[in-house]
């Protein structure tokens, strides 16, 4: 493992994470409020910014790394994300399909 | 790692004590809890997504959401994540107890500010007829957003208990490890909030 960061380095890590997450949040709010909330395609941008924010916070705040001695955490997170993806995507897919077949609007 | 493989005779070790010998294991266990909580949140998110539009003639996202308040809540929660992080760095580098307590109290105040704004928001929604029993959409909304609020409430309670413990038990290894788990929990709530403002508020506004 790499040698432990000093107090200042450690602090800088959290502050960098904070600044990045603030920038990403501002970008998401600005995108939605300026393009008008009726524009559906803005959500793609919001989703991308959300994923970027997720990565930033996992790296800087939750200290998840790909380092060999921390692989257990990463494996757990990836597995849980897989389950989450199956549940959420599956639900939206099935219920959306059902709504279309029943001619109801969702 | 394993209490049985400890050099001392296994019988003499209190199992509860043995767990606390390995901080990595305790933190990993907490990650397991958080990931199960993540899946719970995921299910409630899925319900919300399928319920967007099921307003039954009641008020929808366009009438109910206040983006100014949403922005303020987001900033409070993000900043509280940073202050929790600063407290973590202080604990890891064994700086002064007073500095640690200062940052925990700031985090607690930011958390309570977030909760106050959220409750104010819900009251505003209720005034416009946005109550949980009005429609499937509102039931889904009040199933998800206050669930996050409830987590924040318990995080705040946890901080209060921790502050009391620092005064009664001192800032020993056990209390430190409890704080590290609290900090993880707090950052995790921040992540869930990213999902809430993206999916519930922005998504709800566009598709609702």
Give tens-digit pLDDT for A43-69: 899 999 999 999 999 999 988 887 877
Q: List the 21-80 stretch of B: residues with Cβ below 8 A of A.
A: 28, 31-32, 35-36, 38-39, 42-43, 45-47, 49-50, 52-54, 62, 67, 71, 74-75, 78-79
**Per-residue pLDDT, B15:** 57
CB atoms within 10 A of CB A43: 19
Q: Does B88 touch chain A (CB under 8 A)?
A: yes
**pLDDT tens, residue order, chain B (208 aa):** 444 444 444 445 565 565 556 888 888 999 999 999 999 999 999 999 999 888 888 898 888 999 999 999 999 999 999 999 999 999 999 888 999 999 999 999 999 999 999 999 999 999 999 899 999 999 999 999 999 999 999 999 999 999 999 999 989 888 999 999 999 999 999 999 999 999 999 998 888 7
**Per-residue pLDDT, B162:** 96
Contact B32, A76 (CB under 8 A): yes
Q: What are the backbone angles phi and psi of residue B62, rounded to the nearest 5°?
A: -65, -30
- Kindly report the pTM of this predicted structure: 0.88
CA distance A18 to chain B (A): 6
Alpha carbon distance B179, A45 (integer Å): 36
ipTM of the complex: 0.89
Q: Does A72 touch chain B (CB under 8 A)?
A: yes
Determine whether the interchain pair A77/B35 forms a contact, defined as Cβ–Cβ distance below 8 Å.
yes
Buried-exposed string B117-138: b where 16+ CB fall within 10 A, e elsewhere: bbeebbeebeeeebbeebbbbb
Task: Identify the band that residue A91 occupies on the pLDDT scale cut at 50, 70 and 90.
Answer: very high
Alpha carbon distance B60, B128 (integer Å): 10
């Amino acid at each position: 493992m790499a040698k432990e960061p000093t107090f200042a380095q450690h602090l800088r890590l959290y502050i960098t994470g904070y600044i990045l997450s603030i920038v990403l949040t501002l970008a998401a709010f600005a995108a939605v409020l300026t393009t008008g909330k009726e524009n559906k395609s803005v959500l793609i941008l919001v989703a991308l910014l959300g994923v970027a924010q997720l990565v930033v916070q996992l790296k800087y705040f939750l200290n998840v790394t790909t380092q060999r001695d921390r692989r257990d955490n990463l494996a757990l997170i990836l597995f849980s994300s897989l389950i989450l993806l199956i549940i959420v995507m599956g639900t939206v897919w099935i219920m959306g399909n059902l709504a279309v077949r029943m001619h109801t609007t969702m | 790692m394993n209490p049985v493989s400890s050099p001392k005779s296994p019988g003499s070790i209190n199992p509860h004590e043995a767990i606390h010998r390995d901080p990595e294991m305790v933190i990993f266990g907490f990650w397991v809890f958080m990931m199960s909580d993540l899946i719970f949140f995921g299910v409630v998110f899925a319900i919300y997504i399928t319920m967007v539009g099921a307003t039954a003639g009641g008020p929808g996202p366009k009438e109910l959401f206040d983006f100014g308040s949403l922005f303020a809540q987001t900033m409070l929660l993000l900043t509280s994540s940073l202050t929790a992080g600063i407290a973590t760095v202080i604990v890891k580098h064994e700086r002064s107890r007073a500095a640690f307590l200062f940052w925990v109290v700031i985090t607690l105040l930011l958390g309570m500010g977030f909760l106050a704004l959220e409750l104010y928001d819900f009251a505003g929604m209720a005034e416009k007829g946005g109550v949980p029993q009005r429609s499937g959409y509102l039931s889904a909304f009040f199933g998800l957003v206050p669930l996050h609020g409830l987590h924040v409430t318990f995080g705040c309670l946890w901080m209060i208990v921790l502050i009391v413990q620092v005064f009664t038990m001192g800032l020993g290894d056990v209390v430190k490890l409890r704080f590290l788990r609290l900090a993880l929990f707090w950052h995790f709530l921040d992540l869930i909030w990213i999902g809430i403002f993206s999916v519930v508020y922005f998504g709800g506004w566009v598709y609702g």
